[in-house]
Amino acid sequence: GAVVSQHPSWVICKSGTSVKIECRSLDFQATTMFWYRQFPKQSLMLMATSNEGSKATYEQGVEKDKFLINHASLTLSTLTVTSAHPEDSSFYICSARRTGRGTEAFFGQGTRLTVV
Amino acid sequence: KNQVEQSPQSLIILEGKNCTLQCNYTVSPFSNLRWYKQDTGRGPVSLTIMTFSENTKSNGRYTATLDADTKQSSLHITASQLSDSASYICVVSARMNYGGSQGNLIFGKGTKLSVKP
């Protein structure tokens, strides 16, 4: 149990286009999901906290208009990188916390984004 | 400042050998400490989670220890296998004063373990 699936696993897009990444909790409901970015040889950095049915909370320095987050259901959150630039190339990881089950969170397998 | 420091940064061992990874933290107020295994190009997978009152926790060949007084944790891997090659990340959760959050997770930079045949 407690499987979190991200799609796609990797994506290459042209500079200026938008890319959507999906995060699904397959066998549990997740009121809260989290989006991270990880650069090579660096630790995960929290970008935003996504709450079902409400606006996401962004960490300092993360542009909310560039990284659009939608959490329309208890099992799905999406991250859209708008007007992507090469510096947005990174490994994006989501995690989901079971509704009402403490702070344990489960990570997706990550999405490698390359902007050319 | 809440920080998590891991050592060594990287480690190479021979298959079948044991190894110990270290994690020191300065997170307060402390909630829990987790060890994750992250394969290259994959998301982290939880190995252990320990609260303040727990000193040790095992998960197969992985044994984590926690000394809340000295704010140190270790992850011991027994009889290493080639599949143990990965980054091991120590994550400390700070207790938040409000609900609806994952708590404040502070990530270490990880120890990259390479197990050679």
Q: Report yes or no: B25 and B71 within 8 Å, Cβ to Cβ.
A: yes
Q: Report yes or no: A19 and A31 within 8 Å, Cβ to Cβ.
A: no
CB contact under 8 A, B100 and A32: yes
Question: Would you state the pLDDT for residue A103?
Answer: 64
CB contact under 8 A, A107 and B41: no
B54/A79 Cα distance (integer angstroms): 36
CB contact under 8 A, A103 and B100: no
pLDDT tens, residue by residue, B60-92: 999 999 999 999 999 999 999 999 999 999 999
Mean pLDDT of all residues in A64-81: 93
Q: Is B80 on the interface with A (CB under 8 A)?
A: no
Per-residue confidence at A97, pLDDT binned at 50, 70, 90?
confident
Question: Would you state the pLDDT for residue B103?
Answer: 57
What tokens were used for A75? 């099992």
Largest CA distance in chain B: 49
Give the contacts of B99 (CB within 8 A, at least 6 positions apart). Answer: none
Q: Is B44 on the interface with A (CB under 8 A)?
A: yes
